[in-house]
Structure 1
Amino acid sequence: MHDTTELRAGLADLAEPVTPTEGYEGQIMRRVGRLRRRRRITAGAAAAVCLAVLVTMFRVAGFGSTPQLAASPPDGPFLGWSPVGDLDVGLVREATSVWDRVNSAGPHTAVRALVATHDPGLGSAVVVLEGYDKHGDARLAFFTGGPGGAEALRMRVDRPAPDPVKTQVISLVSPRLTGTTGGASNDSGGSYAIAVAMPGVTAVRVSSTAVDSEMIQNPDEPTSRLVVTEFPTAAATAQTTTIAGFIKPKRPFASLTKVFEVPGEGGVDGDARGVSAEVISRTDQQMMVAYPKDQGVRPGQLAVVASGLVGRVTAVDAARGQATVELITSSGFTGQVHTDISNVPGFVRGTGGKLVMENIPAGGEVSETNRVMMPDPSQHSNQVGAVTIGRVSADKAAGATTVELTPTADLTHLTRLSIMTPSPG
């Protein structure tokens, strides 16, 4: 055996060439630190990606705070929506027959129903159909019935089918949805609204600035995406009505989430028509608007937005498709008005910056926040389609004949409005 002392000396000689140089340990530690930092960054990025995927999944599934509404695939040029309510085959057949009989573009083909149900509010039935006319154009039609049942169904409007990709709700607002075609309703209310939302919507709200009233469906009802409602005034029109859709989150006790809010639609026979116009310039007293040519815009017609009256057309350049609108607060604006519901008469006058109601009868009670309405000269009466011009700022004092009004329309930030023109018929 070799001497242990010699063996140790030999091993020491062999180990000497691999002895770390000065600072080697520091280099190793720095490298380890860099690797750890990279691993932390990679792990953080992976966690962020996982979190984003989970958030997206929750949103699509409707569990998050802002659930998304998945669009239904279009059925060619038509809305690919499932029907709402009792799909009464007899009503669909009768409505199709009426559609063919009263419309020269019939017979209609590939007819499918979005609504075909009995509703006591409108007498007996509400039907909404899609189909091709004889020219191959995709159309949408609303029908309502009277007390006589399905035989009394009347077509209220026939319009081009809406965009099947972008449309979230279809609606019809009019004071002419009961009784004879083109005639204003004679019942205690007068105006009705029909609104049908896309599948996935669990509640629909209909509100009008013509009256302090709104209707929202119970989200737990099987027909909650259909609203048929009556307004307690004939003044409600499409231009002053708003339709909103909501989703009921799946989380317990969570509130409804609004997924859209759009203007109402109208245009049955006899209704005044709103011509869309864009504001191109303005002053404190008036604004200039541009509108599509040949739309029947004339001086004296009212300019409105959903919240109320903006002003009155005073001049028209038909060749250029432009009109001058005098604002309701301008010093030259005057007109006959009445309070909503209580129907207290008076006149309004702009003061150059404010709005006052004058010539109120001595016994007329006018209270703070009362709506004051101006008749629409494009309608057939002072009540039908009247537009809110303002709210009373304070209670009328005893013996006074004047109150100040607060305009309901925002006259400063408008970019678009509607000019009310008479029905083409």
Structure 2
Amino acid sequence: MLLLIKRCGMHNTTELRDSLADLAESVVPTEGYEARILQRAGRRRGRRRVAAGAAAAVCVAVLLTMFRAVGLGPTPQLAAPPPDGPFLGWSAVGNVDADLVREATSVWGRTNSAGPHTDVRALVATRHPRLRSTVVVLQGYDKQGDARLAFFTGDAGAADALRLRVDRPAPDPVSTRVLSLVSPRLSGASGEVGDDSAGTYAIALAMPGVTAVRVSSTAVDDEMTQDPDGPTGRLVVKRFPIAATAQTTTIAGFIKQKRPFASMTKVFEVPGEGGVDGDARAVPAEVVGRNGQQMIVAFAKDQGVRRGQLAVVAAGLVGRVTAVDPVRGEATVELVTSTGFAGPAYTAISNVAGSVRGTGGKLVMEGVAADGEVYQTNRVLMPDPSQQDDQVGAVTIGRASADKAEGATTVELTPTADLTNLTSLSIMTPPTAVSVG
């Protein structure tokens, strides 16, 4: 480019001819000599301006063409690799440990009655420092010939022996851009919750072409999330509070642009996936009606939806199921701000206990110890009755609207879920024993 610009600034043949003419001019002054010289100089200056303008136009056109080639046009699209039959045609992440693949394949066949598995191919087979354990992701056919996908992680209490965490149908190899698994049951024996308050792990594996993955959860404040947009690569394992679930986790993929002054462009953002043995099961539902402080939602029939179960979105708690019509596949959800809503709650991190109730338009936490400290924006959680523990999968119901006054036992909360514009939500139901089958 520099060479091109220099060339654009060189004298042209017209200027050279004019210079030679000057040298050939008689050195003997004649009548009208000065006038002729001035006229000739004017003509030369005019030709130079025209030539310089044309050269500059050429240079600008070339530079603009080069910048367009570099990437100042439309944002590049992420192209999915061709499917490998019914499987994802993705290359494996990093160096695949063949011994881990053999061990995981053996565990897959022993743990699941659908084994042994054939035509097994690995997407991940490595030891990950964040989980302090092994992570293996396999694709393969079961003995019925169905394409399956399986996640394995190590058991910290059994010398890091591999455990099958989830066995799913193979995802759509054309539309899938990321695989994920979010659960507090990924570090110990199958179905057991980790013994750490920050024991929920999110594993995310993005398709080739993605250069960075961000995994975030509304179970923890943004300022506590480390390097959310850092170039972490296609495989990410992230640790969250034990309250985090797939329903409160979001995964985004980015690509680095090949153009000046650009960094990362987001190419997808999707919810996390769960389903480990022992996890509560989320039933998707669509909002089909509203009635004062309640909403009516529709869901697929025979999903185990019952009264008392919580309705949630990624931002937090929407309400509680108060009635179910199994024939129509509909449920009535009482909003957290309604006068009929009440339940136990506690603050995140500081664990100040109390209860919450709706007032018809607002939300109040009461029964707080007089010396209990609750500050503005503190997160307040409600236990999920579908979980086996009050801490695991607890849902954010709101944040303190102001600091609790000294000696006071109540504090007003602001709901974290948008209760006005909801179109869909999830109903949390008790776990089933089919997540790895």
Q: For 1:320 and 1:220, locate their aligned partners in 2 and report how far apart those are by CA, in whole Å.
A: 47
Tell whether 2:97 aligns with 1:88: yes
Q: For 1:67 and 1:132, locate their aligned partners in 2 and report how far apart those are by CA, in whole Å.
A: 35
How is 1:256-405 mapped onto 2 (pairs within 5 angstroms)? Answer: 256-405=264-413
Tell whether 2:120 aligns with 1:105: no
Tell whether 2:211 aligns with 1:202: yes
Amino acid at match of 2:204: A
Where 1:172 maps in the other structure, the secondary structure is: strand
Tell whether 2:225 aligns with 1:214: yes
Q: Is residue 78–residue 161 contact of structure 1 (8 Å, CA) maintained in 2?
A: yes
Q: For 1:65 and 1:124, locate their aligned partners in 2 and report how far apart those are by CA, in whole Å.
A: 42
Q: Is residue 143–residue 154 contact of structure 1 (8 Å, CA) maintained in 2?
A: yes
Q: CA deviation at 1:254?
A: 1.9
**What is the TM-score of this pair, normalised by structure 2?**
0.80
Q: For 1:84 and 1:150, locate their aligned partners in 2 and report how far apart those are by CA, in whole Å.
A: 24
Q: For 2:131 and 2:282, locate their aligned partners in 1 and report how far apart those are by CA, in whole Å.
A: 25
How is 1:22-171 mapped onto 2 (pairs within 5 angstroms)? Answer: 64=73, 66-147=75-156, 152-171=161-180
Which sections of structure 2, spanning at least 5 residues, go unmatched?
1-64
**What is the TM-score of this pair, normalised by structure 1?**
0.83
Q: For 2:382 and 2:429, locate their aligned partners in 1 and report how far apart those are by CA, in whole Å.
A: 15
The equivalent residue for 2:424 is: 416
Q: For 1:354 and 1:218, locate their aligned partners in 2 and report how far apart those are by CA, in whole Å.
A: 35
Q: For 2:312 and 2:79, locate their aligned partners in 1 and report how far apart those are by CA, in whole Å.
A: 33
Tell whether 2:188 aligns with 1:179: yes
Q: For 1:303 and 1:105, locate their aligned partners in 2 and report how far apart those are by CA, in whole Å.
A: 34
Q: Is residue 320–residue 333 contact of structure 2 (8 Å, CA) maintained in 1?
A: yes
**Residue in structure 1 matching 2:255, options 211, 223, 247:** 247
Q: CA deviation at 1:216?
A: 5.0
Q: For 1:150 and 1:161, locate their aligned partners in 2 and report how far apart those are by CA, in whole Å.
A: 30
Amino acid at match of 2:144: H
Q: Is residue 67–residue 257 contact of structure 1 (8 Å, CA) maintained in 2?
A: no
Amino acid at match of 1:112: R
Amino acid at match of 2:213: V
Q: CA deviation at 1:402?
A: 1.0
After superposition, the C-alpha distances for 1:257-309 in whole angstroms (9 at most, x for unaligned) are: 11111000001000000000111001330000111111110000000011110
After superposition, the C-alpha distances for 1:356-392 in whole angstroms (9 at most, x for unaligned) are: 1111111211111111100000001110000001111
Size of the aligned set, in residue pairs, is: 367
Where 1:145 maps in the other structure, the secondary structure is: strand
Q: Residues 210 and 127 (structure 1 numbering): CA distance in 2 closer, same or farther, change over 3 Å? A: same
Q: CA deviation at 1:91?
A: 0.6
Q: Is residue 180–residue 273 contact of structure 2 (8 Å, CA) maintained in 1?
A: yes
Q: For 2:196 and 2:408, locate their aligned partners in 1 and report how far apart those are by CA, in whole Å.
A: 35
Amino acid at match of 2:103: E
Q: For 2:157 and 2:189, locate their aligned partners in 1 and report how far apart those are by CA, in whole Å.
A: 12
Where 1:93 maps in the other structure, the secondary structure is: helix
Q: Is residue 67–residue 247 contact of structure 1 (8 Å, CA) maintained in 2?
A: no
Percent sequence identity over aligned pairs: 73
Where 1:313 maps in the other structure, the secondary structure is: strand
Q: For 2:149 and 2:213, locate their aligned partners in 1 and report how far apart those are by CA, in whole Å.
A: 20
Q: Is residue 391–residue 405 contact of structure 1 (8 Å, CA) maintained in 2?
A: yes
Amino acid at match of 1:123: R
Where 2:247 maps in the other structure, the secondary structure is: helix
Q: CA deviation at 1:124?
A: 2.1
Q: Is residue 275–residue 281 contact of structure 2 (8 Å, CA) maintained in 1?
A: yes
Where 2:125 maps in the other structure, the secondary structure is: strand
Q: Residues 68 and 421 (structure 1 numbering): CA distance in 2 closer, same or farther, change over 3 Å? A: same
Which sections of structure 1, spanning at least 5 residues, go unmatched?
1-53
After superposition, the C-alpha distances for 1:215-255 in whole angstroms (9 at most, x for unaligned) are: 5577656xx11111111x21000011100111111235423
After superposition, the C-alpha distances for 1:302-327 in whole angstroms (9 at most, x for unaligned) are: 00011110000000011111100000
The equivalent residue for 1:40 is: none
Where 2:102 maps in the other structure, the secondary structure is: helix
Q: Is residue 94–residue 151 contact of structure 1 (8 Å, CA) maintained in 2?
A: no
Q: For 1:357 and 1:317, locate their aligned partners in 2 and report how far apart those are by CA, in whole Å.
A: 31
Q: Residues 146 and 166 (structure 1 numbering): CA distance in 2 closer, same or farther, change over 3 Å? A: same
Q: CA RMSD in A?
A: 2.0
The equivalent residue for 2:33 is: none
Q: CA deviation at 1:417?
A: 0.5
